[in-house]
Amino acid sequence: MMETKVNFAAVGAFVIALAAVLVAAILWLASGGAFQKKYDPYLAISEESVAGLNLNAPVKFNGVDVGKVRLIQLDPSNPNRVNLLFAIERGTPIKEDTLAVLKTQGLTGIAYVELSGGADNVPLLRPTEANPYPLIRTKPSLSARLENVLTSVLSKLDNTSNNLNAMLSAENQAAFKSALADIASVAHTLAARKETIDSGLTNAARTFENSAQATKKLESVIDRIGRSADSVEKMGNEVAKTSASTGKTVNSVGHDIKRLTAETMPELERLLRELSVLSISLRRLSDQTERNPAGLLFGHKPVPNGPGESSRGAQKP
């Protein structure tokens, strides 16, 4: 019986090759295999502190993990800005209106990047000549906004405190004390003269009431004066008519009657002039009483002296 010869070298090589294939297959499957995801780089520039954000921190789009943070470094041209490089799954709808904001997760304070936005009619974000990577815009985080608000509030409180300190200085305090003392003095004076003030107010009310009653009475007096003036004017008109009729009668009678008329006509004319003057005076009195009813009771104020006149010269006849 013949024994077969085994090539141990070939067997060893085959085993090693098989092990290498198995290891490669395991690594390929572990890395995703045929379902391995592809990522596209995106750049974001933050103008605030990114404390708590680490490499490989998640990048989420509306709460869904879509990538990782691959690079965190200061902007060489401006150290106040931080460049963030993201690796985002290919096919994620990153558009021109997409915004990136730094957030913290829960009480642990683990920082991550949250993406939002992306309207239907907005085109996808593309790289430009100035930026080799598509640049995602950023907005301040909640902590940054709160910090700005608190800074503004503290600044206003500081200004208010300074103003209050200026208002409560020693000089202003002394002025306030003096003003309060004056107010207290006036209040005590008014309280002490309360009865006198009440009496004065009562007398003033009575005076106003009497003035109102006098005004009502003056209205009837004015009406009477007006009617008297009308009557006098009517009387003058009647006398004038009578005089005209008398003249016609005189022309028709004899010479003797004309002589009598010549003696009586001057007297009639003088009577007419006096009636006319009386009518004018009554009209003037009626007008003055309508303009100043109080003058009928209290009289008219004297006319003030003109330029160059004196009270002594005014008294001379």
Q: Which residues contact 240 (CB under 8 A, 6 or more apart)?
A: 272
- Tens-level pLDDT at each residue, the chain (317 residues): 445 666 777 778 888 888 898 888 888 777 665 556 788 999 999 988 888 889 999 999 988 999 999 999 998 889 899 999 999 998 888 998 999 999 887 666 778 999 988 888 888 888 888 888 999 999 888 878 888 888 889 888 888 888 877 777 777 778 878 888 889 888 888 888 778 887 888 888 888 777 777 667 666 766 776 776 677 677 767 766 765 665 565 555 455 555 656 666 677 777 777 777 777 877 777 777 666 666 555 555 555 565 665 544 444 43
- This prediction has a pTM of 0.43
* Residues forming beta bridges with residue 45, ordered by sequence position: 83
The answer to whether the beta carbons of residues 282 and 246 sit under 8 Å apart is no
Fill in the amino acid letter for 297.
L
Q: Are strands 99-105 and 64-75 parallel, antiparallel or unpaired?
A: unpaired
Separation CA 238–CA 95 (nearest Å): 110
Contact 110, 53 (CB under 8 A): no
Nearest to 280 by CA among 229, 238, 223: 229
- Pairwise CA distance, residues 7 & 232, whole Å: 168
221, exposed or middle or buried, with CB in 10 Å at 0-12, 13-18, 19+? middle
| SS3 annotation, the chain | CCCCCCCHHHHHHHHHHHHHHHHHHHHHHHCCHHHCCCEEEEEEEECCCCCCCCCCCEEEECCEEEEEEEEEEEECCEEEEEEEEEEEECCCCCECCCEEEEEEEHHHCEEEEEEECCCCCCCECCCCCCCCCCEEEECCCHHHHHHHHHHHHHHHHHHHHHHHHHHCCHHHHHHHHHHHHHHHHHHHHHHHCHHHHHHHHHHHHHHHHHHHHHHHHHHHHHHHHHHHHHHHHHHHHHHHHHHHHHHHHHHHCCHHHHHHHHHHHHHHHHHHHHHHHHHHHHHHHHHHHHHCCCHHHHCCCCCCCCCCCCHHHHCCC
Residue 299, Cβ density class (10 Å: 0-12 exposed, 13-18 middle, ≥19 buried): exposed
Answer yes or no: are the C-beta atoms of 98 and 125 closer than 8 Å.
yes
